[in-house]
Amino acid sequence: MPQPHPRRMRLALATATAAALTGGLLTFAAAPATAADTDRHLADFNGDGYGDAAFAAPYAKLDGKGSAGYLAVVHGGPTGLDPAHHTTVSQDSAGVPDTAETDDTFGSALAVADFNDDGYTDLAVGASGEDDGEGSVTVLWGSASGLANGTTVTDPAPAAHGEWGRTLTAGDFDGDGHADLAVGSDSPHAYVISGGVSGPAQRIDVPEQAYALDAMDAGDTNGDGRADLVLTYRTDRTTDASGSWSKGVAYLGSPSGLDTSGPRPLNGGTSIALGDIDGDGYDEIALGNVFSEEDDHSGSLGGRVVVIRGSEGGPVNGDAPMAELTQSSTGVPGADEAGDGFGGAVSIADVDGDGHGELAIGVVFEDLGTTEDAGATIVMNGAASGVSREGARTFTQNTSGIPGAAEATDYFGSDVLLSDVTGDGHADLAVAAAFEDEGIGAVTALTGVTTTGARTFGPGSVGRPRVYGGFGTGLIG
């Protein structure tokens, strides 16, 4: 099968970012966050006490089957993510349901949680192209040896949509102590599977007519111990008096599941992260929006990130969010330029141990001089007042200490992750460059946000062929 056209790859690998810039509707999923865990990892697949990172190469060819896809886990340790300690899984792996087929895109969405309460983190994997676009979701089970075996998550309404597993996230939405799995498709609704795999399903519809969901994430915005679900979606401009195509909504958790009676309207976006930036015990919501003003009245020339404050009553939106950031904002490095993709990926966790979550922002299509679409990542500090405008750091593949060099269309920042993988209580930065080497892809891992000892690794580091595939897509941990 011929490789996808580079334009299609640009759309797919930058997911919602590129979709917004070019009019597609591809999406991605991020890990849930909780206010109590702003400085901790969420994924420990082998239970060794160190955080791990998972990501995919959903467009990789396997045994001649184009875009069959696979995923990789790189385990953490005292020196950070170490590709020498890894696991790779495809639908041809022993114990994994189904078989690898052309255009399955296994790994096109990922979510982490301990779904069976055995103390090991499990990984939910979407394959939105499975069975000619019907889609599938598989939960791979954590164990002392890492991910092993898997279980298919049944679609509760296959006739109502396609691309089951297009977006994923997880959280304990009813507060019963068991993780639930939220699954999106090509329709403007999600299903929350109680207990993650086989429990009853709650359908969650956005509050107005819309296209498919753009992004989905979970966290605790009101500090009640129950996860809340945040969705972003696009409306039809012809039926939307505001002229805004991009909108968001939050549903608060309750003892009976997500409370759909009072959806909280939010800004729109193409990426979402939740975490406690101001240290008050309530998760903030960061919404990255790469739409231009022509496509969304709240858009920006080169992308915008809006941060919504958490509170005892839930997310506080309105005329004065915690922060509205572009690359023309005070304290944000760079310049607001057309098509930069600022906000194409976001992540929140505490890097310096001060109790305030830092905010990492992918600028996926940033030009570096004459090097087009090389990409960059910005880390902004958290503070009691919110997102600090002091001390922001920018990382590119030209930054001293980062292996390699910036090249055109690397897309460094296509996914970003702040998570503690060294076990020191401080989050570490990992950045995907999913189009590195013309679509092969790579991941760069730092210790904290210092470049000393930084590692960059690609498919060859985990025993896979260096082929076109988007290695690093959906970086989560």
Give per-residue burial for 162-180: e unless 16+ CB within 10 Å, then b: bbbbbbbbbbbbbbeebbb
Under a CB-based contact definition with an 8 Å cutoff, are residues 405 and 398 in contact? yes
Provide the pairing of β-strand 386-387 with 393-395.
unpaired
Give per-residue burial for 415-441: e unless 16+ CB within 10 Å, then b: bbbbbbbbbeebbbbbbbbbbbbebbb
pLDDT of residue 235: 86
Cβ neighbours, 10 Å, residue 390: 9
Provide the pairing of β-strand 393-395 with 284-289.
unpaired
Under a CB-based contact definition with an 8 Å cutoff, are residues 337 and 326 in contact? no
Residue 387, classed as helix, strand or coil, is strand
Give ∠ CA 246-251-252 in degrees, rounded to 5: 145
Under a CB-based contact definition with an 8 Å cutoff, are residues 45 and 52 in contact? yes
pLDDT in single tens digits along all 477 residues of the chain: 334 333 333 434 444 444 434 333 333 333 333 333 433 457 999 999 999 999 999 999 999 999 999 999 999 999 999 999 999 999 999 999 999 999 999 999 999 999 999 999 999 999 999 999 999 999 999 999 999 999 999 999 999 999 999 999 999 999 999 999 999 999 999 999 998 898 899 999 999 888 889 999 999 999 999 999 999 998 876 666 666 688 999 999 999 999 999 999 999 999 999 999 999 999 999 999 998 887 777 788 999 999 999 999 999 887 679 999 999 999 999 999 999 999 999 999 999 999 999 999 999 999 999 999 999 999 999 999 999 999 999 999 999 999 999 999 999 999 999 999 999 999 999 999 999 999 999 999 999 999 999 999 999 999 999 999 999 999 999
Give ∠ CA 431-192-18 in degrees, rounded to 5: 35
Q: Tell me whether residue 124 is exposed, middle or buried, using C-beta atoms within 10 angstroms of its C-beta: 0 to 12, 13 to 18, 19 or more.
A: buried
How is residue 154 annotated by DSSP?
Answer: P
Residue 111, classed as helix, strand or coil, is strand
Residue 35, classed as helix, strand or coil, is helix
**Bridge partners of residue 408, in order along the sequence:** none
Under a CB-based contact definition with an 8 Å cutoff, are residues 463 and 471 in contact? no
Q: Which helix (H) or strand (E) holds 320?
A: none
Report how far residue 183's alpha carbon sits from residue 258's, in angstroms, rounded to the nearest whole number: 14
Tokens of 413: 């920042």
Phi, psi for 9 (deg, rounded to 5)? -65, -40
Under a CB-based contact definition with an 8 Å cutoff, are residues 303 and 324 in contact? no
| Torsion angle of C-alpha atoms 234, 11, 58, 469, degrees rounded to 10 | -170
Under a CB-based contact definition with an 8 Å cutoff, are residues 476 and 112 in contact? yes
pLDDT of residue 3: 41
pLDDT of residue 211: 84
Tokens of 48: 């060794």
Report how far residue 167's alpha carbon sits from residue 74's, in angstroms, rounded to the nearest whole number: 22
Cβ neighbours, 10 Å, residue 160: 13
Identify residue 224 by its one-letter amino acid code: D
Q: Which helix (H) or strand (E) holds 17?
A: helix 16-22
Q: 475, 467, 466, 471: which is closest to 446 by C-alpha?
A: 475
Report how far residue 356's alpha carbon sits from residue 282's, in angstroms, rounded to the nearest whole number: 11
Report how far residue 378's alpha carbon sits from residue 394's, in angstroms, rounded to the nearest whole number: 4
Contacts of 128 (CB under 8 A, 6+ apart): 105, 108, 109, 135, 163, 164, 165, 166
pLDDT of residue 188: 93
